[in-house]
């Protein structure tokens, strides 16, 4: 199969590109920092430049693959980032950028690959969402908005595309030991500094750094394995839940009354 993996310069995208290439697929790894994907070449992965906030970049990336291969069988929408901060403090410019990268970039790339998939009567869109697309934590508002949007888009796409032989699969990881959490913690402290939210934000940032800098979270390879299953399964699940705490958080959120959940969240960030 011909596979395009976005956000392939690090973490989940990087590991997924390697795993899929080892399975014998032709993998194109795409990211803004092409130099960070040089090592992928030894696995047969082809690095491509891609900025999911640039229409020209997205069009060029898809066109380059189609010019060589004539088709794209699988799109793994993995590119994304997390910016944490109180809703009151996060600038609207940053909020828009969060949605531009995590939602609109994903949606536009999907639009660009669908004509080829539909022409060939098959294809698969694998969207890397998060447990954050179904459970909300304090100070993660705009990130959660982006991931809830990915969930909604995917559910709509799954029904729309089924008649054309195209599957849509969601990956909803829990805690994964990458730099994502450290970066998000830095953003959280920065955005809440010298505001009424500073003390609570600092506590949450400490908890995030503790979790993401230790050995408590699953490794990116557990997500890449789930992506591998989503790509190769004859009848893939609609959702996969790899990573630390994913299923537990979803279960807890489902059974607890809203007041209890809110109280638990307040307790977690109480300064």
Which sequence positions are flagged as catalytic? Answer: 143
Question: CA 27 to CA 19: how far, in whole Å?
Answer: 10
- Cβ(131)–Cβ(250) below 8 Å: yes
Residue 98: name the closest of 49, 153, 133, 141 by CA: 141
């Amino acid at each position: 199969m011909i596979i395009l993996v976005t956000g392939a310069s690090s973490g989940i995208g990087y590991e997924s590109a390697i795993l899929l290439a080892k399975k014998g697929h032709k993998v194109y790894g795409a990211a803004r920092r092409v130099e960070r994907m040089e090592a992928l070449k030894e696995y047969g992965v082809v690095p491509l430049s891609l900025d999911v906030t640039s229409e020209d970049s997205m069009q060029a990336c898809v066109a380059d693959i189609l010019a060589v291969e004539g088709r794209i069988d699988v799109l793994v929408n993995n590119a994304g980032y997390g910016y944490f901060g109180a809703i009151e403090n996060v600038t609207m410019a940053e909020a828009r950028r969060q949605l531009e990268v995590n939602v609109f970039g994903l949606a536009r790339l999907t639009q660009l690959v669908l004509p080829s998939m539909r022409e060939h009567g098959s294809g698969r869109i694998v969207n890397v969402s998060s447990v954050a697309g179904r459970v909300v934590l304090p100070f993660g508002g705009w990130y959660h908005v982006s991931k809830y949007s990915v969930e909604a888009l995917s559910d709509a796409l799954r029904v729309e595309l089924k008649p054309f032989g195209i599957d849509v699969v969601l990956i909803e990881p829990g805690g994964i030991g990458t730099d994502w959490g450290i970066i998000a913690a830095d953003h959280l402290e920065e955005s809440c500094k010298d505001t009424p939210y500073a003390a609570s934000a600092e506590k949450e940032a400490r908890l995030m750094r503790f979790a993401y800098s230790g050995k408590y979270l699953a490794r990116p390879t557990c997500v890449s394995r789930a992506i591998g299953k989503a790509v190769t399964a004859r009848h893939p699940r609609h959702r996969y839940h790899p990573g630390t705490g994913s299923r537990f958080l979803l279960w807890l959120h489902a059974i607890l009354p809203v007041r209890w959940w809110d109280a638990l969240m307040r307790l977690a960030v109480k300064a």
